[in-house]
Amino acid sequence: MDTEPITIRVEAEAARAFRSASPQERQKLELLLSLRLLEATKSTESLSKVMREISQKAQKRGLTPEILKSLLDEA
């Protein structure tokens, strides 16, 4: 897969979590973000609506930052 660096603004907590992640964890997070960006930009829905839906689904399923980290550690 061909990759290219970009700069995005995220919440401070998310930035700290990314910076403190191991190289393997960062790679997984980058892949996850890349997939979500592609999904959001290919949708006919507005980006904000897609983001709200993703967030709501994750929260309903009980996803927390700690659980996400644990899931990524397993992969």
Write the pLDDT tens digit of every residue in 23-65: 999 999 999 899 888 887 886 767 778 778 887 888 888 888 7
Q: Domain of 16?
A: 12-74
Instruction: Identify whether 24 is part of a domain.
Output: yes
Total number of domains in the chain: 1
Instruction: Identify whether 2 is part of a domain.
Output: no
> Higher pLDDT residue, 43 or 16?
16
Rg (CA), the chain: 13
Tokens of 39: 């999904």
Instruction: Identify whether 41 is part of a domain.
Output: yes
Instruction: Identify whether 4 is part of a domain.
Output: no
Instruction: Identify whether 69 is part of a domain.
Output: yes
Instruction: Identify whether 7 is part of a domain.
Output: no
Task: Kindly report the pTM of this predicted structure.
Answer: 0.56
Instruction: Identify whether 51 is part of a domain.
Output: yes
Q: Provide CB contacts within 8 A for 47, sequence distance 6+.
A: 40, 41
The CA distance from 43 to 55, in Å, is: 16
Instruction: Identify whether 26 is part of a domain.
Output: yes
CB 30, CB 19: distance < 8 Å: no
